[in-house]
Homo-oligomer: A and B are copies of this chain.
Amino acid sequence: MQASHDTRQRIINAAQELIYASSYNEVGVQEICDHARVKKGSFYHFFPSKRDLALAVLEQSHTFMRDEIINKSFHDDIPPLARIERFFTLLYEFHKDSRENTGSVFGCPFGNLGGEMSTQDEDIRNKVDSIFTASEKPFEKALAEAVERGDLQAIDTAATAKAIFAYTEGIMLYAKTSNNPELIRELGKHALQLTVAVNMQ
């Protein structure tokens, strides 16, 4: 059992690393097997298709982001809006480290796959869509708490959380296309503006 679990895990880890560094279509099953040091027959024992592996990779990346960035950001030791600011700080630090260690900003693992694959694979599109929706929830909760505390006017917290996470995805794409993690810090400073209802003109 343990050996089997290890093999499956090695395949997921290899695919996660290779796909994140390039793209889904660029990485073949053979390359993943070579990188994981498993035989191709073993691959198909665990994953009927490359798509099934992609879904497992997305799940693992989601767990990582939740544990390492979301949960640390939204811990309630500081006021709710400061947690949103901490989210952008932790996101910045993660991608600054990546830039220093690899030379590249890889962007968002969900946005990357969603942008590449949404018109090609409904299962991958739905998985990315559900990860985006789940990622909005801690923002929504923090916004509701901020409203309750009187830190914010009454706003549509669900719509605002969606706007902030969509903005986050745009920031991640910008950081990748400019290969510049500093943009996460600079653009992240504007995120809280999306929490304030304005009456234009």
Contact at B22–A119, with CB atoms within 8 Å?
yes
Binding site for B on A (CB under 8 A): 21-26, 79, 81-82, 104, 106-107, 111-112, 114-120, 125, 128-129, 132, 151, 159-160, 162-163, 165-171, 173-174, 176-179, 183, 186-187, 190, 192-194, 196-198, 200-201
Contact at B167–A201, with CB atoms within 8 Å?
no
Residues of B within 8 A of A81 (CB): 200-201
CB distance from A99 to the nearest CB of B (A): 11
Residues of B within 8 A of A179 (CB): 118, 125
Q: Tell me how many chains of this kind the complex includes.
A: 2
Contact at B118–A107, with CB atoms within 8 Å?
yes
List 29 A-B pairs, Cβ < 8 Å. A23-B117, A25-B116, A81-B201, A107-B115, A111-B115, A116-B116, A118-B176, A125-B179, A129-B178, A132-B177, A151-B200, A162-B187, A163-B167, A163-B187, A163-B193, A166-B167, A166-B174, A167-B170, A169-B170, A169-B173, A169-B174, A170-B170, A173-B173, A190-B194, A192-B198, A192-B200, A193-B193, A193-B194, A194-B194
